[in-house]
Structure 1
Amino acid sequence: MGMAFGILYAFLLLVLSTSLCLRRRKRRSEDKYKVPPGSMGWPYVGETLQLYSEDPSVFFATRQKRYGEIFKTHVLGCPCVILASPEAARFVLVTQAHLFKPTYPRSKERMIGPWALFFHHGSYHMRLRKLVQGLLSPNALHGLVPDIERIVISMLESWVGLEARTFHAMEKLSFDVGVLTIFGDRLEERHKVELKKNYLIVDKGYNSFPMYLPGIPYHKAIVARKRLHGVLSEIMNERRKKGVRENDLLGCLIDSKDDSGEHLNDDQIADNIIGVLFAAQHTTASVMTWVLKFLHDEPKLLESVRAEQTAIQETNEFGSRPLTWAQTKSMSLTHKVILESLRMASVISFTFREAVADVEYKGYLIPKGWKVMPLFRNIHHNPDFFHEPKMFDPSRFEVAPKPNTFLPFGNGVHACPGNEMAKLEMLILIHHLVTKYRWETLGHQGEIEYCPFHVPKHGLPARLRRASGGCVARCKQSS
């Protein structure tokens, strides 16, 4: 008994001394470098509610004005350091990227899946990134132009005469293009219906507060995520039984092998498919919604874009022939409109990284395990880099922006591999929209909602109508 007590006493002394040692070491580290200033908000909740209910420009700008270009906060259950300068973004995403692993809050990782490309670094990440980049490279996108054009035309025709929320229409378009990229054009309708039904539930819960009470959006999303995995497994099994190699993303994932000849398992494939769907949908849909609003609000610019696109339409016998990749690359003014929309909207306000060790930056300590968030939005709206940043001015992109000041798709090895696909989708949409249709936006012209991607109020309600037949006739006569 006495010996047991002595051993326990010695063990407790060892634990206590180790703890005090670690605390002294931590204090010495914090004495040398202090954690950045800022507010951690309420316990557990932090400042999450403010971030997702306010204008993100105001949320970050007020804190930046108060604390400087590096400050702390607490969102989505995580302590975070916010960095609001081009140099800091480059430090985290490029020059010292090895010190910051890609990560999301645990609640979001659980929705997409831990094997998704953008949660990893190292050999697994490089293998998958190379695969996805190859599929979405310009050479590969050439062949997708007719299929994307078909989806765009179908969506616009379904909108004619109806009052619809632009954002919802753009979500549908982006989802269908994402499905095309992942599964090709031969996915069975029953699978597509089940995918969309469960994906929408997961999507709704993705940005909800992560509580596990039955009946709330997050819990429903967890359940739908399991069903979604089941649908994807069924599609994979049917593909394998057919034994035919497909050149879509699913086919590439199924066929992929690592250096030792190992294939990806179903969990890895499913997580990456869901990750691509998430990456392909909301950001693209948000930007396209803003493109429609910006063009609607700038009549002279709209006419210039229409003139550029009408000239292309004329070379295609007024739309009787499909667009080509070369034609999309010739849309110089339209491309500048997209770039300026990406800057103005900045629908991705920041990206998440996690410090893998204690990191010193400009005299401050970024503790190991803290999330690090380079702020794209504030950089894009900084008058030091963009003259009169609140003005919509595509001509500013006649000259390339300064390095690390325009980051709509991120930077470094984790930059979005689908950026060319997103721009292609937007170019094809704008071509058909401005040459064949006219639209008017309805109500709440200047109001914005944040959920969490900021879009015009109520998703920009709009009514679409076909351009008058006389327009095409006049164009033909003038030619």
Structure 2
Amino acid sequence: MWVVSLCLAVATLLYCVRWVYEWRKPRWNGVLPPGSMGLPLLGETLKILIPSYSLDLHPFIRKRVQRYGPIFRTSLAGRPIIFSVDPEFNNHILQQEGRLVEMWYFDTFAKILAMEGESRLSRVGLVHKYIRRIFLNHFGSDILREKLLQKIEEWVERCLRMWSSQPCIEVKEAASAMMFDFAGKQLFSYDADEASADATNERFNRFLRGFMAFPLNFPGTAYRRCLKEHRKLIDMLRGILKERLDSGKTSNVDFLDQAIDSMRDQEFLTEDFIVQLMFAGILASSESISTMLAMIFKLLSETPAVLAELRAEHKLILEKREQQSTALCWDEYKSMTFTMQVINETLRLANTVPGVLRRALQDIPVKGFTIPKGWSIMVVTTALHTNHNVFENPLEFNPWRWKDLDSGTVLKSFMPFGGGMRQCVGAEYTRAFLCAFLHVLVTKFRWTEIKIGNVYRNPILGFKDGVNVELSESWN
């Protein structure tokens, strides 16, 4: 028996050694991009989750670019993935949606964003066109020009007054609640004045805290708490949808009404998919804009000259108005030249994520290498934003640099909202919200820094100890 046991042990050991070898050096007919696959199953996941206290590229990416070149391979959470900081290849990939590549999420994101198998949010064709159209109907340029910009201004002023009544606010969490309430109102007429609103906002913030945590689904972990809060939020949205369906009444005033009306002639619009769309809309606006607002408070606190010029621009807007009580209009928004430079510079430095993910639909040749079908590709857009050849002193917050950048350079080297046919449908909404927020902030309020933590990437942008300020109304 001991001979049989020894043979089994040796066979198992040899199998494991071979499996590890093939994991670290995948066999492929073509030439794979250089790199390392890391540990079996885990890959190099732990290394990319190490916080970096800098706005520069995460060291995980920077060190491998220095060692392997602008296109390298690795493995994260058990998935083989190609990282690219090559501008030419990145631009090519983003233009090939539905042909060479498709949208893709890590399993942790997919589990949250998809409720019925593979997420339809990543599809192209009819579904993609419908999603873009319905979101543009409620958050696009036309609705912003007609009435949404004024609603944003009113909402921001209301929220800032509420913030000013508190001794201290943490900007990221307060802004996240503000964005949840506003997006919810546009999507499904959410009533932020209800008694349960504060509990819902806190639930959403608890969800966000675990959204980027290491995906260990065990009791007590941040990710487990994230999934728990996600289920409760989804149940809330399902309840809102069911109530609207049971009432049989739609007023065509919000996103949900339009989606319900479209169920008659759009077969893909199931109840689960509509809930998925509502949650994705809240998540996209709340997380990205709240992070930007926290970053704006931090950067303006550190650069008084920028704040002074911002105040001068918005004071001039008020002086040109015939009536001081008039709401912010589209022409005024479009006249905010320096404000838009501040926003562009903040977007350049503070992308929430390091890039966008795609999955190869076929073998893709690139510069002597081959990316195998089914492998993931991380288009590292933040590498463009810190390119020393395009942006002088790229880690410096300098809004004035945008006066001298030509449109061609900006088009190729500035992708805060992605690129190609998948460019973020909320790009104009994000810029308009940030402009309206700054307009109200610098004309009607002042703030004092209580505690502003350091920025870090792991690789998602965050703030150690938060951005804590005291806000007060200005009577100047």
TM-score bucket of the superposed structures, by smaller chain: 0.7 to 0.9
| 2:53 corresponds to 1:53 | no
How far apart, in 2, do the equivalents of 1:130 and 1:283 lie? 21
| 2:473 corresponds to 1:466 | yes
Across the two proteins, how many residue pairs are aligned to each other? 441
Aligned match of 1:147: 151
Query: 1:117–1:128: 8 Å Cα contact kept in structure 2?
Result: no
Aligned partner (choices 420, 423, 431) of residue 423 of structure 1: 431
Question: Alpha carbon RMSD of aligned pairs, Å?
Answer: 2.7
| 131-140 vs 65-74, greater mean Cα deviation | 131-140
How far apart, in 2, do the equivalents of 1:239 and 1:194 lie? 22
User: Cα distance, 1:63 vs. partner?
Assistant: 1.3
Aligned partner (choices 442, 457, 460) of residue 453 of structure 1: 460
User: Cα distance, 1:191 vs. partner?
Assistant: 6.9
User: Cα distance, 1:176 vs. partner?
Assistant: 2.1
How far apart, in 2, do the equivalents of 1:452 and 1:390 lie? 17
| 149-158 vs 66-75, greater mean Cα deviation | 149-158
Provide closer, same or farther for how the CA distance between residues 242 and 315 of structure 1 changes in structure 2, counting only shifts above 3 A: farther
Amino acid at match of 1:226: R
1:416-465 deviations in whole A, cap 9, x for unaligned?
101111111101110111112222324456x3233653234322222222
| 2:46 corresponds to 1:43 | no
How far apart, in 1, do the equivalents of 2:120 and 2:311 lie? 38
Provide closer, same or farther for how the CA distance between residues 96 and 117 of structure 1 changes in structure 2, counting only shifts above 3 A: closer
How far apart, in 2, do the equivalents of 1:439 and 1:191 lie? 29
How far apart, in 1, do the equivalents of 2:149 and 2:436 lie? 8
**2:231 partner SS:** helix
Query: 2:241–2:275: 8 Å Cα contact kept in structure 1?
Result: no
Aligned residue runs from structure 1 range 76-155, under 5 A: 76-95=77-96, 98-113=99-114, 118-142=121-145, 143-155=147-159
Aligned residue runs from structure 1 range 273-352, under 5 A: 273-316=278-321, 320-352=325-357
How far apart, in 2, do the equivalents of 1:157 and 1:41 lie? 51
**1:465 partner SS:** strand
Name the one with the larger helix percent: 1
Provide closer, same or farther for how the CA distance between residues 89 and 97 of structure 1 changes in structure 2, counting only shifts above 3 A: farther
User: Cα distance, 1:190 vs. partner?
Assistant: 6.0
Query: 1:286–1:453: 8 Å Cα contact kept in structure 2?
Result: no
Amino acid at match of 2:342: V
| 2:158 corresponds to 1:157 | no
How far apart, in 2, do the equivalents of 1:248 and 1:155 lie? 22
How far apart, in 2, do the equivalents of 1:291 and 1:444 lie? 12
Query: 1:284–1:422: 8 Å Cα contact kept in structure 2?
Result: yes
Query: 2:103–2:123: 8 Å Cα contact kept in structure 1?
Result: yes
Aligned match of 2:16: none
1:77-111 deviations in whole A, cap 9, x for unaligned?
32110010221211211046521110101221111
Query: 2:263–2:269: 8 Å Cα contact kept in structure 1?
Result: yes
**1:53 partner SS:** coil
How far apart, in 2, do the equivalents of 1:276 and 1:151 lie? 18
- Structure 1: segments with no counterpart, 5+ residues: 1-22, 472-479
Amino acid at match of 1:461: N
How far apart, in 1, do the equivalents of 2:471 and 2:34 lie? 49
How far apart, in 1, do the equivalents of 2:360 and 2:75 lie? 15
Identity of aligned residues (%): 28
| 2:175 corresponds to 1:170 | yes
- Structure 2: segments with no counterpart, 5+ residues: 1-21
How far apart, in 2, do the equivalents of 1:276 and 1:224 lie? 17
| 35-44 vs 370-379, greater mean Cα deviation | 35-44
Aligned match of 1:204: 209
User: Cα distance, 1:335 vs. partner?
Assistant: 0.8
Query: 2:360–2:377: 8 Å Cα contact kept in structure 1?
Result: yes
Query: 1:34–1:365: 8 Å Cα contact kept in structure 2?
Result: yes
Aligned match of 2:28: 30
Provide closer, same or farther for how the CA distance between residues 90 and 118 of structure 1 changes in structure 2, counting only shifts above 3 A: farther
Aligned match of 2:392: 387
Query: 2:298–2:452: 8 Å Cα contact kept in structure 1?
Result: no
Amino acid at match of 1:45: L
How far apart, in 1, do the equivalents of 2:115 and 2:373 lie? 20
| 2:235 corresponds to 1:230 | yes
